[in-house]
Amino acid sequence: MQIQTLPKNVPAELVVDANIYALEGGERDPQMAWKALDIAGNPGLVWTPHNGGHWIATSAPLIWELFADVDRLSARNLSVPPSDSPLKMIPNESDDPEHHHYRKIVLPFVSPRAVKRLTDDVRGLTAALIDGFQPRGRCEFMTEFARHVPMRIFLSLVDLPDEDREWLVDVADKSVRPKSTQEKEESQRSMAGYLQSWIDKRRADPGEDLLSAIIHGTVGDRPMNELEVMGECMDVMFGGLDTVASMMGFIMKFLATHPDHYRTLVEQPEKITFAVEEILRRHGVATVARRVTADIVHEGVTVMAGDMIVLPTCLHGLDESRWPDALNVDFDRKRETHCTFGNGIHNCPGAGLARSELAIMLHEWTKRIPEFTLDPGSQPLAATGAVNGMVRLDLVWPR
């Protein structure tokens, strides 16, 4: 790693050689790849020259604080390197007061009442998928399960055809875990092109779906403009097509490699709800960036206005000062709030639906498959990025 000029506010001892889209060891264990950046003695911050140069928050208190800080941080740049495109992924890539109006459009579709209405559909689809591969004694979990349930439920909310699902998932994957800036930009152009035809159709003939609600949404007293409509449609698409599937993959990898934990859930299904929270705490997936708008002085280090800072939710859950024995998943741990779904005004609006889908998955899986492990002939494959993802996960069980 060679740095021509180190910014004057960056102490040399806090510099790490880290491309967040390809962290060393991320293909095996993304969360621990992030944890490796938490170098000894750092004040809760490190800095990397990759992707335009940016800070990474590493301590739970600082991550929690900055997620909710709307006075010194702006969400108008959600990723690194920051894009100068006028198209923003809203509501995630927006600040108040506009953010409030963008978010309000989405909330009715993921409210507790809406989630309850979807429960039977989630359970029926989950059971049917498991019943389909259970007799074989094996499955590739990501393609045979994780890329079905959350995506199909999401596509029903936006009323888009299931036959487009695989293509859409591939486009979303290249946006949140790109191999290059060019790949990310190409994926976003592909998504925008796909969505434009549907936007035109729903503008002329609106339905009761989420896309129609966005297209005909308002910001205060005015209708959303074309950039806002496209930005919000793209944001919900990328969010709905990847994050929950990634969470499912990490949960099942953990349980496949920790048979005692899985046996507990088989024998005590009442623990599933908290088990989901505890595994999510340990295996955070989302990472967001923020633009600093006012100098932040933290333990003698100045993060200057104009700097970019990255907030990895997984490092909140791995901080020993916040979570004693943080690397250990403990289904009897005292229940406390983790940061896997964010914090503050930008906390994930779909968290309730995600929790429901994850719990239903474990209830239906434990009923049908009393024990399972990783396929010894196949290595799990994961990746880091804006969303830590499980790429391949082969599971086997006694027939």
Please give the distance of CA 342 from its chain centroid, rounded to a whole number: 10
CB 354 within 8 A of CB 348: yes
**What residues contact residue 85 under an 8 Å CB cut-off, 6+ apart?**
none
Could you tell me how many residues make up the chain? 399
Kind and range of the H or E element at 359? helix 351-368
CB 77 within 8 A of CB 289: yes
Residue-wise pLDDT tens digits, 7-35: 999 999 999 999 999 999 999 999 999 99
Residues of the chain with pLDDT under 50: none
Torsion, CA 94, CA 100, CA 104, CA 106, rounded to 10:
20
**What residues contact residue 63 under an 8 Å CB cut-off, 6+ apart?**
57, 311, 312, 313, 315, 316, 339
**Domain segments of the chain: what residues?**
12-396
Distance, in Å, from the CA atom of 83 to the CA atom of 124, rounded to the nearest integer, reads 41
**73: helix, strand or coil:** strand
CA distances from 283 to 268, 354, 395 (A): 22, 14, 19
pLDDT of 3: 66
Where do the DSSP E strands lie in the chain?
Answer: 45-48, 54-57, 73-74, 138-140, 218-219, 222-223, 287-292, 296-298, 301-303, 308-312, 373-374, 381-383, 389-392, 394-396
pTM for the full predicted model:
0.93
**290: helix, strand or coil:** strand
pLDDT of 179: 81
pLDDT of 2: 58
Distance, in Å, from the CA atom of 221 to the CA atom of 233, rounded to the nearest integer, reads 20
CB atoms within 10 A of CB 208: 8
Question: What is the DSSP code string of 291-329?
Answer: EE-S-EEETTEEE-TT-EEEEEHHHHHT-TTTSTTTTS-
CATH architecture of 12-396: Orthogonal Bundle (1.10)
Distance, in Å, from the CA atom of 349 to the CA atom of 114, rounded to the nearest integer, reads 12
